[in-house]
Structure 1
Amino acid sequence: MPFSLIDLTTQWFREPGVVKSYLLFLSGQKTASKPSEYCGKLLGYKPHGFSASVITKGLLGLLVFGVVWAVTGPACLPGQNLFGLVILFLSAVCGGKLISVFRLPRTPPVPALLGMLLAGVVLRNVPYVTDAVYIDQNWSAALRNVSLAVILTRAGLGLNAAALRRLKAVCVRVAVGPCLTEACTVAVVAHFLLELPWIWSFMLGFVLAAVSPAVVVPSMLLLQSEGFGVQKGVPTLLMAAGSFDDILAITGFTTCLGIAFGTGSTWMNVGKGVLEVLAGVLAGGVMGLLLHFLPSEDQSDVVLRRCCLLLGLSVFSVFGSLAAGLGGAGGLCTLVLAFIAGLSWAEQKAPVAAVVGRFWDIFQPLLFGLIGAEINISSLSAYTVGLGVSTLCVGLLVRVLVTFCMVLFAGFNVKEKIFISLAWMPKATVQAAIGSTALDMSRSAGDEQLQIYGLDVLTVAVLAILITAPIGALAIGLSGPKLLQQDTHTLAGHTHTHTHTHTHISYEHTPHVCCFMIRV
């Protein structure tokens, strides 16, 4: 389209070179392009948005591999341990991103941890890839223990003493009742179906009894931001009760773990399990008080020093308890340590929690990727998987029914009771954190029979994540607007009236989770 005289005059003052080329083109002459002009245009182009994000992340991935290869040399070649760890980490990160992209419209995003888990399973079970991606079992166990220390540190910092004091009876019932009943139900079913010893059956029961804050908390915050269930306090109830549900499950698991790997009489093993719980609480309290005094607030980089001491003591607690023969004490010690430290720091714990959250962003792909890499599909029989799924389903059914009973006299209507029961199903992070602990200790003990039991526990835990995490997220997102009342509140300058309308929630932007719950 030809330019007018006014357009050419205006453009001349802005880009005289372009106008000159245009006039030469009209006169039939060839434009004399200079290489410098093309270089200038090339340098002037800067990628942005999605393309820039993809290029940056791809470059970072290549840089991670390149740095490790430059430092270690042949140890980072295919078939070596470091190569396997780097590829697993990058694959888990990509898997988490991909699983979050593919979702149904108007539904909550599928937890990224599911993609990380599947990435590990794929790397372990694809021919030729499995041979190239080798991971030493000692390295795998050590990295999972470090991840456990980080996640429990984050959990302890997320607890709020004021919320503990404000807990009502219904919150205690929702936290304790379903957890204990599901643990006992799974223990009985697993003993007869999977033929596990009683102590291992209860260990599996407590592994499966924990609800997943990684699924529940973001979904509750989304519903709460739209006003669903706010008047009755449904989101607050579930977020508060989830913390104590997880603590109870972890405590029960560590007790059973101490009994299972103890020597001597049954009563001696029971006493050892109780001793591990007491030792973990006592040691965590002492180290937490230590962090109340050190480092002092007048020191430079106090946040960095607090983070180093907190994470260092947490990792030391987990590995130190294993070295001392009190493997069940490490997890509780870390949890109590972080809680006491955060309590003493009060408002100043937020920067520390943010740094610990960044560490979790690094260790989360490692944890779930390594958990998935432990599952060898060729060694699993359909019979074992079927029994594991049956055990899981029976436990979930009992959990849903008991949860409904626990809120019968709490002032909720029938729809709200159904929603609370459905929202109390998802399992993910705690199962990944503690599901492999028994297998690692069995390998350290060198007992092949115990390794079989440990692999059964891990297999059922992985099945629980694969089945309940996506189903739970979808159940919360789809049933919330239909079963909960939308209350009067102000959101972005607009007032929403109390209504029963089935409003769709936008899940495009998940809010940052900042609450007193366990953020994992």
Structure 2
Amino acid sequence: MIVEKGENEVTDADRLSNGSCSEAMLPVSCHGNISELATGVSKDVTRNSVQETQEAQKSKNEASEIVEEEEEAVNPAGDSRSDVRCKSCKKSCHKCWKPVRTKYNPLPEKASKLERAKFAFLCPPHGKLGDFFAAVLTFLIFWAVLIAVTRDEAVPGGNIFALIMLFLCCVVCGHLVAIIRLPPLLGMLIAGCLLRNVPKVNIGKDIDNTWSTVLRSVALTVILLRAGLGLDPKALKKLSFVVIRLAFLPCLAECLTAAIASHLLLDFPWEWGFMLGFVLAAVSPAVVVPSLLSLQERGYGMDKGIPTLVIAAASVDDVLAITGFGVVLAIAFSTGDLVLTIFKGPLEALLGVVYGIVLGVIAWYIPHKEQKDFHLFRFIVLLLGGLLATFGSQIVDLPGAGPLGCLTLAFVAAYRWRQEDVSGGMAQVSDFMSLMWMLFQPLLFGLIGTEVDISTVQGSTIGLGVAVLTIGLFVRVIVSFLAVFKAGLTVREMLFIPLAWLPKATVQAAIGSLALDTARRERANDSHILHLGTQVLTIAVLVILITAPVGAALIALTGPRLLTRTPVSRNIHLSATCEQPELTATADTHKLEEEGQDQD
């Protein structure tokens, strides 16, 4: 009999399963059925729980298998999970950086300007941009070390900070001026003037005078050593008479003219007038030599050896000017017996020559040729010997001996080194000296510029100084033309020589401040002597600003028009310098193979 259950009725099995009733509430006859029913329900519940557990475990196993398959795909070697994460991170980083790496984005052979610009900014830094970053990083580390060591000296307002800023500004201005094909030293000099005279900048006033004097003296030593290394004995011997005439006559004539003009116009004492004359009389190899090399590379003037003639004469001209300046400087600041004063200058020159010869001969044998890195030790001996001559002569009160000692030392040492020239040792010594000049050239011209205080310069000094310069150059041009008369040159070539003999810069920067430095050291309380030293320095700066760009432009413009162009076989050895090269050239005597070739 089947009894249907109503909506509101609850079966005994339900009550039993829910625990809402007990067996006592039912008849005894139902106890067995109820137990069987409860057992069945329990089995169903257990069966369902087991099935659910099995399904969950199965799902978990399937997920684990998927993860393992993915790991095996990423990590076939079977590394740990931490290694897998590292490799995954590395892969992601590689994917992100790949578009900006040069390794995966090489520059096409025929790349456009836009592609080259894009390639320049790819990583790692390379090319000029890489060089810039390397220089910036080196500078920042160097500056941080200076701050850690010197503290206040390397922060704004300190002496070392001012020198660093001066060096950087001079380098930048030098490159900017070189872009318009003017001598870089002109930009360096202008940078020094601006840093001293621009309001609210005025970094030049933070530079200590002692530091400035020492650095300029070191730069002078480097210039003199490079000039001595660049003197070519063979060229001097070959063109000895013409070289001597061209070196001595214009220099002495301009010196004498400037001395007389400055005595009459500026009221200079005679010794100061000759001191200014020797400052103005020296030509600048730093301007003349690169300009002549540019003409020589195109074959101008090679048939008569004009570049060799001018460069060799420029070296001797500088030696004469520096020697004469040292002698007159010694006379100007000498006190005591007149006879001793007169002979002190020549005595200083003689002592400088003897010092240079003795130490130069020693440098032939020490360091010896078999020594490892002997060329480096030769450079060290040469540089330290030059510094000893420069600073030692000041200590013993014989300042005129120092410059000539440096020149003689380098010339005598290089004479033997050239003959040996073991493994290019001579060229490597010149390389080291050229590196020293790269470091000290910005400091030299920058420090010279900082010595010019426009607020204290009188207008009459500028005007009369330009007048003295103009008179001296006029006489120099005439004498230079006559000095090469009957030297086998055409009239057009003779006209080019005086124009190439105009630029002045290096020697003026090197010795233009020596008179002021000596006055500060010897006559610090004599305002008149200090004023004379300042006037000499101011006129020296004017000479550089006027003659350096004008002379370089005249050489570039008149050279192709006045000189003969000849096809040559050239072997130009620059001695690793841009200022005093050794030149050897042989004319190509065979006829031109192609008719109609330009013969300007």
**Structure 1 residues 114-513: aligned runs within 5 Å:** 114-130=186-202, 134-346=206-418, 347=421, 348-445=425-522, 446=524, 447-489=526-568
1:89 aligns with 2:167: yes
Q: 1:191 to 1:296 in 2, by over 3 A?
A: same
Report how far residue 246 of structure 1 moved.
0.9
**SS in structure 2 of the partner of residue 369 of structure 1:** helix
Q: TM-score, normalised by structure 1?
A: 0.85
Report how far residue 167 of structure 1 moved.
2.4
User: Whole-Å Cα distance in 2 between the matches of residues 110 and 54 of structure 1?
Assistant: 23
Question: How many percent of aligned residue pairs carry the same amino acid?
Answer: 48
The Cα offsets for residues 377-430 of structure 1, whole Å up to 9 and x where unpaired, read as 111011111111111111111101111111222222222111111110000101
The Cα offsets for residues 455-493 of structure 1, whole Å up to 9 and x where unpaired, read as 11111111111100010000000111111111133689x
Question: Conserved in 2, the CA contact under 8 Å of 1:435 and 1:458?
Answer: yes
User: Whole-Å Cα distance in 2 between the matches of residues 34 and 43 of structure 1?
Assistant: 15
User: Whole-Å Cα distance in 2 between the matches of residues 514 and 320 of structure 1?
Assistant: 26
Q: 1:249 to 1:156 in 2, by over 3 A?
A: same
Counterpart code for 2:529: L
Counterpart code for 1:516: E
Question: Conserved in 1, the CA contact under 8 Å of 2:357 and 2:408?
Answer: yes
Question: Conserved in 2, the CA contact under 8 Å of 1:100 and 1:112?
Answer: yes
Question: Conserved in 2, the CA contact under 8 Å of 1:79 and 1:132?
Answer: no
Question: Conserved in 2, the CA contact under 8 Å of 1:83 and 1:133?
Answer: no
Report how far residue 58 of structure 1 moved.
3.8
Question: Conserved in 1, the CA contact under 8 Å of 2:192 and 2:449?
Answer: yes
Q: 1:153 to 1:62 in 2, by over 3 A?
A: same
Greater RCO between the two (CA within 8 Å, min separation 6)? 1
**2:185 is matched with which residue?**
113
**1:106 is matched with which residue?**
none
User: Tell me, which stretches of 5 or more residues in structure 1 are unaligned?
Assistant: 1-32, 104-108, 493-509
**SS in structure 2 of the partner of residue 422 of structure 1:** helix
The Cα offsets for residues 115-160 of structure 1, whole Å up to 9 and x where unpaired, read as 1111111100011211586100011001111111111111111112
Counterpart code for 1:411: G
Q: 1:512 to 1:443 in 2, by over 3 A?
A: closer
Counterpart code for 1:253: F
Moved more, 110-119 or 168-177: 168-177
Counterpart code for 2:96: Y
User: Whole-Å Cα distance in 1 between the matches of residues 209 and 136 of structure 2?
Assistant: 28
User: Whole-Å Cα distance in 2 between the matches of residues 191 and 463 of structure 1?
Assistant: 18
**2:140 is matched with which residue?**
62
Question: Conserved in 2, the CA contact under 8 Å of 1:221 and 1:513?
Answer: no
User: Whole-Å Cα distance in 2 between the matches of residues 249 and 511 of structure 1?
Assistant: 21
Question: Conserved in 1, the CA contact under 8 Å of 2:162 and 2:203?
Answer: no
User: Whole-Å Cα distance in 2 between the matches of residues 473 and 132 of structure 1?
Assistant: 29
Question: Conserved in 1, the CA contact under 8 Å of 2:444 and 2:510?
Answer: yes
Moved more, 438-447 or 59-68: 59-68
- Number of matched pairs: 462
**2:119 is matched with which residue?**
none
User: Whole-Å Cα distance in 1 between the matches of residues 137 and 560 of structure 2?
Assistant: 41
Bigger radius of gyration, 1 or 2? 2
Counterpart code for 1:466: L
Counterpart code for 1:369: G
Question: Conserved in 2, the CA contact under 8 Å of 1:422 and 1:476?
Answer: yes
The Cα offsets for residues 433-472 of structure 1, whole Å up to 9 and x where unpaired, read as 1111111110001132221111111111111111000100
User: Whole-Å Cα distance in 1 between the matches of residues 360 and 439 of structure 2?
Assistant: 25
Moved more, 293-302 or 432-441: 293-302
User: Whole-Å Cα distance in 1 between the matches of residues 338 and 274 of structure 2?
Assistant: 15
The Cα offsets for residues 172-230 of structure 1, whole Å up to 9 and x where unpaired, read as 21111100000000000011111110001001101111111111111111111111111
Counterpart code for 1:515: P
The Cα offsets for residues 303-346 of structure 1, whole Å up to 9 and x where unpaired, read as 12111111111111100000000011101111111111111222
Question: Conserved in 2, the CA contact under 8 Å of 1:221 and 1:511?
Answer: no
Q: 1:153 to 1:439 in 2, by over 3 A?
A: same
- How big is the alpha-carbon RMSD for the aligned residues of Structure 1 and Structure 2? 2.1
Question: Conserved in 2, the CA contact under 8 Å of 1:226 and 1:491?
Answer: no
Question: Conserved in 1, the CA contact under 8 Å of 2:231 and 2:582?
Answer: yes
**SS in structure 2 of the partner of residue 129 of structure 1:** coil
Counterpart code for 2:171: V
Question: Conserved in 2, the CA contact under 8 Å of 1:153 and 1:335?
Answer: yes
Q: 1:70 to 1:133 in 2, by over 3 A?
A: farther
Q: 1:460 to 1:148 in 2, by over 3 A?
A: same
The Cα offsets for residues 30-79 of structure 1, whole Å up to 9 and x where unpaired, read as xxx95542233345423444444444444444344333223322221111
The Cα offsets for residues 246-274 of structure 1, whole Å up to 9 and x where unpaired, read as 11111111110110111124432111111
